[in-house]
Each structure stands twice: as structure tokens, then as C-alpha cells.
Structure 1
């Protein structure tokens, strides 16, 4: 089948850009640099705007706009200007600022036209020749710092992966255990009346009252938020109590309280935001599954060689994912067991992971694990093929670093299937239910021959004939919007609080 010849586009650059402009084919042109070079050569020649206007036929106001980068000169005007200054057109079109001061003026102009400065609502400072050099340098320095903080606060995929890697490394060094937060959580739930078993909604409400807050449920929460806390009125707004998964509401309320207990301040960077998110999740988990009750329970099951995440989940009335993550907080410090945890999508993408047992997660070149593809032979993916999706799936996997045993539970969320896995080295499997399984797989990943390279016959047949359209994972590509809190629409939150604030009496 003959390939079709590309058809010319009616709106091609050659049609859009006429030869009356400097770059008729649309190459990028920096009008600010051009304007500053024109000003530089004009002042070097000792000419005023009126002098140049008299020899070129350009109005002084037009020349001023050109020098300030607000107007693009025609080629004929550019030639007249070069002749007036005694230079060539290429001299004017150089991409370099004509002087260090001009470079600072250009940087100040660009900064004041940017969104970071625009959000402040402040007037612009004209970068004219009358502006003293020290003042110009100070203003540029301030704008550089504003830009740096803005870049640091935005959650680009790169920033998110780097921050997650740093936090994951720090938590591995601490065996995923934060004793200060354990103590704070234990203190709060005990004062609220907790004595054992699943933490009730009433106990969570009493904990909020101890901290001066009332929990209210509403279906009008801003879409960019999970909860909203009104510090002035002492109110914590949660989704409606009728939504599925009561443990989720308890966790949300406890996470909101955690900010107050842990004395968090507004995050100054995206890394700070992630650290706070980690801490409030840990605090909520430590409240829902208090260490003083959980550890004796786990030690008894270990003694009986009958540890199971599903039993741990049911004993404290939390989700399987919450139980698995909480188990990682206590397993090494209190049970002497090293382990790994991972949450994987139905397509095999690793969303979250923790390990201190030497297992090798797939990583990118920076060492980040988020968004990487898990080996097809791992239990985290094999479990999706199990006929019994209600029970935990057990499997041994021979990996390059040794043999590991995993317990995996699958589930379905709004965005598709997922699996939750907790695994241990072969030496520690004796403590767990499911160790007698005869399921066993071999994984040589990251060797591409393991599961990533197609069969040679299939590759030969389809490599030039296949053209799939990839599914885009937007959460991996998109930056998180910035505000006082990353990802939160400030205007929406403030309107919500205004409409729900209690009416002052009198």
C-alpha cells in the first residue's frame, strides 16, 4: 500500500510569517534582547530617541516600544537603525545581551511579566537606565529567589520522584518506624477512651473534642480537597458519613487532627508537603492500630506461626492496604522481621513500595520506583490471574537476590484493579500463614530476557506491523497545581469556608 504524501498546511510558518518581519520563517526571536541591543547601540552613539526618529522616520514612541521589547521592527526599520548607529544588521540581531546591565534589565522585565510576580498583584518597576545598579541587582536577586521557591513548591514529576526517593530512603533507615509519632497517637486515643479493638467513630470524635474541634460531614467539599479544617471555628469538614468504607472516614479525621498534634506549619516546599503527608498518614495509622495493642497481638500470632495480614486487618477494622502498611511499621522493630510492601496496578505499575529486606524494586535512572513496571512473575501480578480473588494469594519467587515469599490481596478501586503485597525473605516465612503453598516462580528482572523481551518469532512477525496507542498515566506526567498547599484550589476552599462558617451571635 503506497504511503500518502504529506499535504501542505494552509497555516504553515511560511504563510503566517511575511517577509516584512525579521524572521520570515518563524525562527524564535527574543524581542527583549533585540530591544536592549538597539538601545545599547543608540546610547553608545550618543543619540536620543528624537535623533534616531529624525534619521529613520520612526516615531519616538515606536522606537521606545521596540527598545522595551514590546514591538517587533520590520526589516526595513532594522536596516535604517543599523545605518543610524553605524553598525550592521547582524550586530543588532546577536542573541547576546549587549552588557551585564542589559542582561539584568532583561531578566527583571521577564520576571515581572511572569506568573509568579503576577500573582502578587504588585506594580512593575521599569527597568530603565535611571534605575540605580544596586537596586537593579537587588530586584533581580529577589525575583530569582521567588522563582526558586516557586520551582521547589511545584510538584513536577521529577520533583515528586526525587522527594519520594529521599523520604523512602530515610524511612528504610528507620525501619519504617517513627517512635515520636507512635507515642503521640497512643496518647491521644488513650485520652479519648480507647481500650482495644477497632477504633470507633465516637472515639475519633472525642479525640477531636480534646483538641478543640468538631467533626462535620458535608457533600459540598471542594473537589481539590479530602478534608477542610476551619481553625477559627474549630471545625473539621469530612465527606458524607454514608460513603463506602467507614475506616476511610476515621483515617481522614485523624489525618486532619495530626496536623494540629504534630504542630505542622504551612509547607514551604513540595518535599515538606510530602513529609507532612507521610507523617499524618503514619499518625492516623498509629491511632487506628495502636502499637500497645497491635504488638502483643502480632507477637502471639508469631508465636503460633500464624501471621496473616488479613487477620491483622480484621482485628482492627481497617483496609487491607492500611493493615499491610501498618505491619511494616511494627514488623522489624517489634517482631524482628525484615520485609517489603508494594501496591501495584492491574497493568503492573508500581505505585508505592517499601523494603528493608534486600528485595530489588524496579527503578528509573534516579532510583525512584513510582511508575515502574513490576516483573510479571512476582506475586503482585500473578495474583490477578487467581480464580479466588477474595482470599490472599501466596507465592514463592526465586529472584536474583534470593528467594522471597509473598502474600498478595487484590482489589478494585475507581481507577481500576490493584494488588497489595507483603513479602519476606525465605528465612522469615516460617512465621506466616500460607508458607506451605506450592506456587513458585522464577524472576531474573531487571534482565529484559525475564519478561520484557517478546518471543523472537513474535517480534519478527509483528515488530514492523504493530502500532499500538499507549494509555497515558496523567498522574505521572502532570505537575500538581500550587497554592498555599500543593494541589489545593485556594479560592474554592475559601468560598467553602465562608459559606459554612457559623454566624456570629449578636
Structure 2
């Protein structure tokens, strides 16, 4: 079978193109290569995959090379529209309408065919717009988080890809330099360009036509921002990503590019060697891992979750919590019960007041990690929490392990210990009875709205990106 040729529609169009150019009918060509004309018709319509030997016979009869038939490009503008219509009619969006598929005849005018393709594109665009809602985003994010839990947050294929890219630019030790990232981009045919007018809804923009990756002029705090953003942009190309057809696909792509960037900034072999050495000395610390590779505390903690279970034989959890107590990002495979809503989503849920993720905000000295043991219904956990600051607010980054694995970490000797019975409302969600009696119905608070949770994302080709602003930017820089 032609295993390397997956686009049967294009293959069929190319066979038809060369058959009609050579003046063959279906029956005449079929007779020449030893098959019925009806079977050949199925192949030309993308309904049957031909054997390589049959393709060789067809090519020889028509006087072309097999490579001409296997060329992935449509043979003509008309064929390109017919292929696009076929693909769009096979989509789940169109299938859900229950409408019959339209087969473009030879007599169908090009403008009619173009109108049909345009209608399908608009249908797909509206479908993407409809799913970029908070509910869909939370559902897709929950499914992805649950999937990554089954994988122990580890993606070996991307680890291998990152290692290969680093080998190609000669990086073996120390923090990854901006020069090495630029060399990686150059090998893929891209130039890194720093501009001050990126669209507000983007972190970077890749101009595929002119081979440019546009980045902001200054790094975000922590020193790894520009490297990480450039690596994420390169990852889209290396991983073969296409424009996302759903919000779930958008989230999966974002997860994969973030993983690739982390695997480059904190390479597998060097990271595992560093962490195993620290574990042997019972001196594991996120802050040491962070400083060894010149990344942010959050990046180091997340990278630890990638490697801990597969390479260090320990289960872990990670939390990013806002100063209001809302959970913005969470992962666990150690049994810690993250707060969830009725759908299983964790985003925006309030974590227990007795967890270190909340208590760390009460410290006067926030330059060092805060350590704590927490007794929960699921067991006792040791946690390390560091406070960070963004343009909008402060947040905490927590990395933790079950009690039995605390012995490997610096800070295990802490005497800080709290008990949490959440999700029991009596733990920390209900006010003390005396205070409730005193103040109930005697005050009125104006709540701060979590707009990022309730508002739909701006619609566009990529969720959250303003197409008009994006295309204006590209046009303005295309001549520079």
C-alpha cells in the first residue's frame, strides 16, 4: 500500500489530471493497467488507495513519473478548489448538518465552486468562534489535564526532538544562550526580529512567507522570556502544527510548544543528572534547579513535574495560585485533591486557606521559599512555595510531594504544619459562628469579577488573537 501518501483526494485529482491530458477515458486506462474503469473512478475520487505497483503502471501508461502522481500539490487551481470542497464536506461540522455531499461536475462554473468553498470556510470559522467560550475552554482544559496525568506529565517524543535540536547547534552544558536559539531558528529558515509594536493579543508572530519570527524587545522577568517565546514559535514548525480546528487542539498545541521550550531550556540529560545528584544528597530544591538553568521559578517547578515520576520515581503536584486564592494552573499525580467545580474543572477554584499556596502571601520576607507540611483527607504533603509578581498581581508557585518523599528535599525540617479538611466547607469556607451572627445581613460587598473566567475569547483564526490587528502588523512589516 502507498503508506507515505495519505492525501488520497489530491492523489486522485492528479491521476485524473494526467489521464485527461493524455486523452484516456476511465475504461481505456483501466484496461491498460488491468483494472475496471469503476475501480479507477474510486481512486480518482479519493475513495480507494492504489497499490504502489498499480501507480507505477498508471504512470507508465500516461507517460509520467510516479513522483508526478504523488506530488502533494493540486494539479490546477480548479482541482485545488475541488479538493478543498471535498475536505470541508468530510468535516464533522458539515456532517452534523445532515446535508448531502455535492460532487462538482465538469460543467459546474468555477465561480459556483468557489462560492461553495467560501461558504464552507465561513461555516468552519463560525464553528471555531462558537467554541471559544469559557465553558468549552474549561472542558477542553480539564480533558487535557486528565490526559497528562495518565502520562505522568511526560512527553518522550518532544524530549527527543528537543535533544536533537540542541545537538544540531552544539549545546551541551549550561544555560541555553540567545545565540543558540537564533541558530536553531536559522536552521529552520527563520530570523528572529525584535519589535515594539506586536499585536496586543500576541506574544510572538511568525511570518511564514518571509521567514521571520517577531518578538518583543525586552525579556520578561527571569531572563528566559525571549528564549522561551522564540522556542515556542519554532516548536509549531518542528511539530508540524496547522491552524487549530478546535479549542482543544489549540490547547494541545500550546501544551506541546511550552513543553518543547522547557525541554530546550532545561535539557533532559543535564536536568536529570542535576536532580539525581541533588536527590542523592537529600538537597532537592526548586530554587537551585531554577538558578542552574537561568529560568523562572514557575518554569523550573513545571519542568520538575515532567521529570519527577519518570526519572526520579516520585509523584508530585504543582499549583499556581493568585493572591485572591484562585487556582490558575494545577497538576497532580500524587493524590492531592485539587478544588474542582461540578464539571471537574480546577480553573478559578479557590484553594484551601490552610495550604501553603495561600499562607505564603502572609509572610513579610518573600525572597525565599516557604515550606510546610499539610495534613489533608488524602494524606500528608510537604510543599515548597515561592511568591512571584506579574504586571497584574502577585501569585504563588507551589511544588509538593507526599510525606514519604519529603526526605529528599531541602526544607523538610520545617516545623510549619497545618491541617486541611477541604472540600469540607467547615474547614475554611464558612465564617466562624460568632462572626456570622454579628455581621450577617449587616454589610454589602461589591465583588471583583473574574473576567478572564467569564468572558469569551476574541474570535479569530487563532483563539484569543485579533485577526485584523495581526494582519495589519504583518503588512506593516512585510516591506522592512
Range class of TM-score, shorter chain: 0.7 to 0.9
Conserved 8 A contact 1:152-1:269: no
The secondary structure found in structure 2 opposite 1:226 is: coil
Inter-CA distance 198–242: structure 2 relative to 1 (3 Å threshold): closer
User: 1:215, 1:467 → 2: CA distance?
Assistant: 53
Q: Which residue of 2 aligns with 1:231?
A: 208
Residue 191 of structure 2: aligned partner: 214
Unaligned runs of 5+ in 2: 1-115
Q: Deviations over 1:427-456 (max 9, x none)?
A: 111111100000000000000110011011
Task: Tell me if the contact between 1:375 and 1:381 (Cα under 8 Å) persists in the aligned partners.
Answer: yes
User: How far did 1:154 drift?
Assistant: 3.2
Tell me the CA shift for residue 491 of structure 1: 1.6
- The residue aligned with 1:291 is 268
Spell out the pairing of 1:411-450 with structure 2 (5 A cutoff). 411-450=388-427
1:391 correspondence with 2:368:
yes
1:488 is aligned to 2:465: yes
Q: Could you state the TM-score of these two structures normalised by the residue count of structure 1?
A: 0.70
How far, CA to CA, are the matches of 2:251 and 2:129 in structure 1? 12
Cα distance change on mapping 1:305 and 1:243 into 2, 3 Å: closer
Change (3 A) 1:255 1:242: closer
**Secondary structure, aligned partner of 1:408:** strand
Aligned twin of 1:57? none
Structure 1, residues 248-306: CA drift from partner, whole Å, max 9, x if none? 11100000000000000110011110110111000101010010110011111111111
> Is 1:341 equivalent to 2:288 in the alignment?
no
Shift in Å at residue 241 of structure 1?
Answer: 3.3
Shift, 1:152, TM fit: 6.9
For these two proteins, the number of residue pairs brought into alignment is: 364
Distance 1:351 1:242 in 2: 23
User: Structure 1 residues 152, 401: CA separation in 2 closer, same or farther (over 3 Å shift)?
Assistant: farther
Does the CA-based 8 Å contact 1:154-1:482 persist in structure 2? no
- For 2:125 and 2:195, how far apart are their aligned partners in 1? 38
Q: Which residue of 2 aligns with 1:282?
A: 259
**Structure 2 contact 338–346 (Cα < 8 Å) conserved:** yes
Shift, 1:411, TM fit = 1.4
1:307 is aligned to 2:307:
no
Q: 1:363 aligns with which of 340, 349, 361?
A: 340
Partner Cα distance (2:168, 2:218) in 1: 24
| 2:150 is aligned with 1:163 | no
* 1:242 Cα deviation after fit: 6.1
1:322-349 Cα shifts (integer Å, max 9, x gaps) = 0000000000000001000000001100
Q: Deviations for 1:338-362, whole angstroms, at most 9, x for unmatched residues?
A: 0000000011000000000000000
Question: Over aligned residue pairs, what C-alpha RMSD do you find?
Answer: 1.9
**What is the match of residue 259 of structure 1?**
236
**Alignment correspondent of 1:174:** 151
1: CA distance, partners of 2:191 / 2:315: 40
Number of the residue aligned with 2:358? 381
Query: Residues 267 and 151 of structure 1: is their aligned pair in 2 closer, same or farther, counting only changes over 3 Å?
Result: closer
1:494 CA drift (Å): 1.2
Cα distance between partner residues in 1 of 2:187 and 2:170: 11
TM-score by length of 2: 0.73
Poorly superposed stretches of 4+, deviation over 6 Å? none
Gaps of 5+ in 1: 1-138
Q: Is the 8 A contact 1:227 1:256 kept in 2?
A: yes
